Amino acid sequence: PFDLNGKAALVTGASSGLGRHAALLLAGAGAKVALAARRIEPLVELERQIESQDGRAIPLRLDVTDEASVRDCVAAAETELGAISILVNNAGIGETKAAFDVTEDDWDRVVDTNLKGAWLVAQEVGRHMAHLGHGGSIINIASVLGLAGSQRIPAYCASKGGLISLTRALAVEWARHDIRVNALAPGYIETDINRAFLASPAGDSLRKRIPFRRFGRSEDLDGALMLLASDASRYISGSVLVVDGAHSA
């Protein structure tokens, strides 16, 4: 039930971290993968890596905050790879600032990328999925910070909470098109972007509060991603799958 052979997937924010890892995972399971991010160079390198392992991938430039860019990217992905049946809506940015210091620009940047951006991509891919009538699976990469509060990261928490609400709304509306929409809510997963913080004294005290006593690794998301991407989750929609070593339990 976890076989992705012949399916086409779009991964946003595929140039680094969790998106890059998800693209390699899906390609390894047989999917043809459209790799999308703002910068094309790291995507070309990833394309080479996937093709050297007999996979199929194409690099595409995408700014999720720009509707025209989203439209062009989804059209190009379908022209090259065929109907997209899996979307990993992963592009996102962080922000760490005390709530009193967050400017309107800070707020707009985070919410535009994490919430409006995810919405624009889901809407465009969903439109294609509904039009072609094959259904599909949309996986919104949210965060446990969309479920529980934390200090000095208000816009991020709000954007991810909004993404979880959007997931539920689309799951209900698009079930008639056989489009499943779920959120994956990781806890703290070590990637280049947070490695320095997680290794700091503040990171260490955070780690001690995780029942598993360690931060997550990209591979810890593999089971959840494969479940949600594949037909194994054919009756799962509107769910939030938390992968956080029991941190928020």
> Can you give the binding site for ligand NAD, defined by CB under 6 A?
12-13, 15-19, 37-38, 62-65, 90-93, 113, 117, 141, 143, 186, 188-189, 191-194
β 84-89/56-61 pair status:
unpaired
Q: Which two tokens stand for residue 188?
A: 């703290």
Q: Are 108 and 115 a contacting pair, CB within 8 Å?
A: no
Report the side by side order of strands in the sheet with 84-89.
56-61, 32-37, 8-12, 84-89, 136-141, 179-186, 240-243
Nearer to ligand NAD, 65 or 233 (CB): 65
Q: What is the smallest separation between the CB atom of 74 and ligand NAD, expressed in angstroms?
A: 13
From the list 87, 140, 156, 185, the catalytic residue is 156
Nearer to ligand NAD, 23 or 170 (CB): 23
Residue 188 is among the residues annotated as catalytic for this protein: no
Q: Which residue, among 124, 171, 147, has the nearest Cα to 12 in the 3D structure?
A: 124
Q: What is the smallest separation between the CB atom of 22 and ligand NAD, expressed in angstroms?
A: 9
Q: Which residue, among 164, 161, 149, 163, has the nearest Cα to 99 in the 3D structure?
A: 149
Nearer to ligand NAD, 123 or 194 (CB): 194
Nearer to ligand NAD, 90 or 182 (CB): 90
Q: What is the smallest separation between the CB atom of 164 and ligand NAD, expressed in angstroms?
A: 12
Residues annotated as part of the active site: 156
